[in-house]
Structure 1
Amino acid sequence: MNWKSFILGAAVGIIGGYAAHEVLNNKLKVSPEKVLEQVKKQFKQNGPISGSWIHMEAEPYEKHQIHYKVYKGGISKNNNGSNEQFEFIADAQTGTLLDVRPLSDALIS
């Protein structure tokens, strides 16, 4: 057996495996833009949205002793002349909303 061929084959296999791992990892995450689009769609069912934002980096989050990578963001709505703001937390893997919290007026000022 030729050692050069063996080493070349092993190197190609390792590089190919690493590349496949990276591609699969990136495909399993939902983009932050897509998450924001889904959240806005849910909020629009109850009236128009006046603003929205999302943090582009996934960060660790724990809820009920379960660990997630999440995107955090916010939605602003105009409800009968008053501005309502909400913070949301969505799973980076699936885009599923994990938590929605209204922001109080004291935090906004």
Structure 2
Amino acid sequence: MNPTPAAYGWLAGAIASEVLGTAFLQKSAQFTRLVPTLAMAVLYAASFYFLSQALRSLPLGIAYAIWGGLGIILTAAVGAIVFRQMLDAPAILGIALIVSGVIVINLFSTSSGH
């Protein structure tokens, strides 16, 4: 499998859609608000569609690790910036470990097809 720039574009779209969908999940108030609930559903569906397109040329394990890792990081950032949900030191350390894992995969793994 030889990843293409388009595959990383699809993966970026999947990550952005998932993060926005999760923000709307927070705004849906446990599915009691219709518009945020619908936005969440559409964005999650888009995220999985975009991820499926990225999987045409990215290995599943690599794509999912990047999607999940960056999704966690960006969702935590949205939580802190938009919803004022501050993280404590152990949470920040855990996210730093996730970031380091994604970096190691992308820089050193031969599985990623670089």
Give the alignment's TM-score, normalised by structure 1.
0.29
Give the alignment's TM-score, normalised by structure 2.
0.28
* More helix by percentage: 2
* More strand by percentage: 1
Q: Which has the higher contact order (CA 8 A, sep 6+)?
A: 2
